Amino acid sequence: MVFEHYPMIRKVKGSYLIAVIITALLLGEKSLHAAVDSDQLQNAITLSQRALISQQNKDGYWISYVETNTFYNALQILLYYFLGREGQERETIEGLCRYLVNTQSEDGSWPLYDGGPSDLSLSTLNYFALKLSGYPEEDVALVHARDYIRSHGGAESIYGMYQIILALFDQFQLSFIPQVPIFPLLLVAPSLSWFRMMFIPLMVVLREGAIYCPPETSYIDELFINQAEGRVIRGNEEPLKTIDAWGKKICRVFPEDLSIPFLSGSFSTMVYLNWLLARQNTTDGLFYDCVPSTFFPLLSLKALEDIANNEEAIDKALHALNSFQQQLPEGVYQPPTDATIPATFSAIMALLETGLTMEDVVVKKGVDFLWNRQSTRYGDWVYQMIIPVGPGGWGFNLNSESFPDIDDTTSTLFVLKTAYGDRWEERMSDFTRGIQWLLAMQNWDGGWGTWDRKVGCLTTLLKEAMSSVVFDESVVDHTTRVLTTLSLFGCTEATSPKSSEYKIFGVN
């Protein structure tokens, strides 16, 4: 069976679950045969297939939303307040808070995943989001959360990135703010991996001193074991100084002093705004297709509102984030993004495995949708290429335009090739665009990451300041999938291109 060699492991809501059920039934058919009547098994598969078909959108896709923890509920609440939208989004905020309260663990904490261990950082962020939204200290949910947080080291013990987020809301103070020149930073942005869409806007917000100061009743001093010292972020001081020193060195290359704070209408500011807005999806207004990569750009647009009118861009992005929200019995759940592309190729694969073909309308519509979502726009990946290629990948969500990723491109090509079978040459040019993009995204070590190629020397530097998790290192999972998909098209080690500068399948 195909899925024995090509596991789909994303956990998403809705139709994808049915696809997984069908796949599990198929994979377990032999072992189930002894315990389950074959007619019953076939009936279960048929019912699941019908349910899956009934969930197909009229445009041919299946839509699902990424199921994760409560981090994005809290982040969305903070975003509304920073942007000054808490009044008009009051009902949504209440729903988001209700979800937080109803998913709180018995010990007062929140876990990173269902049934997982308690997480101090996430619990502290959620506590602040509830308090910012108007929950009083004596509320039962806050009392339990406070007891957990203080008994596990207090707010001063949370992870660095959470501290930085809360510092933007005056709950922590940075002991040192790096003076990074924005214009040179934009020039080396391709070396920052996908983290560029978080790191650069964050630097802009910090340089502008755009800190949201909530009402006194919203401060979380009671969560600190040492209130006098605990609120000062000291753990990241040395890495931040490293970034500052690096920024000053870059400044020496440029004739003008770009390390000074932004001035109204300054060259650096306008270049930054043009750079940022050029990366906003024209369809839904997201930046890089999800909540975390949209959160910091929106903060920076708000920070620069006195220099440029950014309301339209902010409104468009907020509308897209709100469209992800799901009304659940527990309250309003905020997914980080939709998972339309993986939901669609998984559904098509399940239908193919249960006997449907390209002659069936439901499969044909799904296949046509996937072809329509193949990228035609250049993105930041183009600046990382050694071998020039055009667009050809697929992104993760419904409206992804210029931010394709290795995983979804690989999976989509695999499913489309399976659907076409020996007729795949009918779409030779489109398949070729996808394959060429995949090959060009290979890292120096022969593997593949997720969104970007690993390039430049900044990776090592920023790992000291941030975390290796934000960089597109090669991973066995994605590399294996790429090789499996390429082999489906007849690629082998013997037939792969060879170059002294570029590796294909790890061959020099």
Q: 463-476: per-residue pLDDT in tens? A: 544 544 455 678 88
148 or 25, greater pLDDT:
148
Write down the pLDDT at residue 248. 60
Give the tokens for residue 304. 């620069």
What share of residues in the chain are helix, strand, coil (percent, to 5)? 55, 5, 40
Encode pLDDT of 52-101 as tens digits: 999 999 999 999 998 999 999 999 999 999 999 999 999 999 999 999 99
| CATH topology (fold) of 71-333 | Glycosyltransferase (1.50.10)
Greatest pairwise CA separation for the chain in angstroms: 79
Give CA–CA dist 338/295, Å, rounded. 16
User: Average of pLDDT values for 430-446?
Assistant: 93
3-state secondary structure 263-290: CCCCHHHHHHHHHHHCCECCCCCCECCC
Reduced to 3 states, what is the DSSP secondary structure of residue 114?
coil
pLDDT of residue 171: 95
Q: Kindly state the percentage of the chain with pLDDT values over 90.
A: 60
Lowest mean pLDDT among 53-67, 193-207, 261-275: 261-275
The pLDDT, as a whole number, for residue 291 is 93
- Residue 174: pLDDT over 70: yes
50 or 474, greater pLDDT: 50
What percent of the chain lies above the pLDDT cut of 70?
A: 79
The pair of three-digit structure tokens given for residue 484, joined into one six-digit string: 């499996």
Cα radius of gyration rounded to whole Å, the chain: 24
DSSP labels for 350-391? HHHHTT--TTSHHHHHHHHHHHHTS--S--GGGGG-SS----
- 146 — pLDDT class (breaks 50, 70, 90): very high
Q: Does residue 109 contact residue 118 with C-beta atoms inside 8 Å?
A: yes
d(CA 375, CA 371): 9
Q: What is the mean pLDDT of residues 210-214?
A: 96
- Count how many Cα atoms sit within 13 Å of the Cα of residue 57 in the half-sphere of its side chain: 17
Label residue 238 by pLDDT band (50, 70, 90).
low
Confidence class for position 247, pLDDT limits 50, 70, 90: low
> In whole angstroms, what is the distance from residue 204 CA to residue 212 CA?
15
475 secondary structure, DSSP code: B
The span from the CA of 62 to the CA of 51, in Å, is 12
pLDDT for residue 287 is more than 80: yes
In angstroms, the CA 394 to CA 345 distance is 11
- pLDDT value at 498 more than 80: no
Give the integer Cα–Cα distance in Å for 115 and 105.
9
Of 398, 331, 339, 396, nearest in space to 74 by CA: 331
Range in 207-216, 246-255, 414-423, 486-495 the model is least confident about:
246-255
* Alpha carbons 249 and 324: distance in angstroms, whole number: 42
As beta bridge partners, residue 371 has none
Q: Is 275:379 a contact under the CB 8 Å cutoff? A: no
Q: What is the pLDDT of residue 169?
A: 97
- When pLDDT is cut at 50, 70 and 90, the band that residue 16 belongs to is very low
> How confident is the model at residue 455, as a pLDDT?
60
Mean pLDDT of 480-486: 94
CATH fold match for the domains 71-333 and 373-508: yes
What pLDDT does residue 470 have? 52
- Higher-scoring residue by pLDDT: 33, 177: 177
Report the C-alpha gap between 145 and 153 in whole angstroms. Answer: 13
Calculate mean pLDDT across residues 434-455: 88
Alpha helices by DSSP H, listed for 160-277, are: 160-167, 182-187, 196-208, 227-230, 237-251, 267-277
Query: What is the average pLDDT score of the chain?
Result: 84
pLDDT number for residue 134: 97
SS3 164: helix
CA angle (409 as vertex; 405, 411 as ends), nearest 5: 125
- Whether the pLDDT of residue 184 is over 90: the answer is no
- Do β-strands 326-328 and 232-233 pair in parallel, antiparallel, or remain unpaired? unpaired
Per-residue pLDDT of 382-391, as tens digits, reads 888 878 899 9
List Cβ neighbours of 446 (8 Å cut-off, separation of 6 or more). 474, 479, 503, 505, 506
Residue 28 predicted with pLDDT over 80: no
> Is the CB of residue 215 less than 8 Å from the CB of residue 136?
no
Is 24 or 393 the better-scoring residue by pLDDT? Answer: 393
Pairing of strands 110-111, 118-119: antiparallel
- 400 pLDDT above the threshold of 50: yes
**Domain coordinates of the chain in residue numbers?**
1-66+338-363, 71-333, 373-508
Level-2 CATH architecture, domain 373-508: Alpha/alpha barrel (1.50)
Cα gap 11→9, rounded to integer Å: 6
Phi then psi for 370, rounded to 5 degrees? -60, -40
HSE-CB at 3 with a 13 A cutoff on CA atoms is 23
Confidence of residue 483 (pLDDT cuts 50, 70, 90): very high
Quote the CA–CA distance of 102 and 88 in Å, as a whole number: 24
> Distances in Å between the alpha carbon of 422 and those of 43, 250, 361, 368, 489?
30, 54, 19, 18, 10
Q: Say yes or no to pLDDT of 233 above 90.
A: no
Query: Which of the four pLDDT bands, split at 50, 70 and 90, describes residue 506?
Result: very low
Four-point Cα dihedral 158, 161, 163, 166, nearest 10: -130
Residues 6+ apart with CB under 8 A from 239: 464, 465, 466
d(CA 385, CA 277): 23
pLDDT of residue 469: 46
Under DSSP, is residue 110 helix (H, G, I), strand (E, B) or coil? strand
* CA within 13 Å, CB half, 75: 26
**For residue 275, what are the CA distances in angstroms to 296, 307, 444?**
14, 15, 28
Question: Poorest-confidence range of 191-195, 294-298, 483-487?
Answer: 191-195
Q: Which two tokens stand for residue 138?
A: 């004596």
| Tokens standing for residue 332 | 């309003």
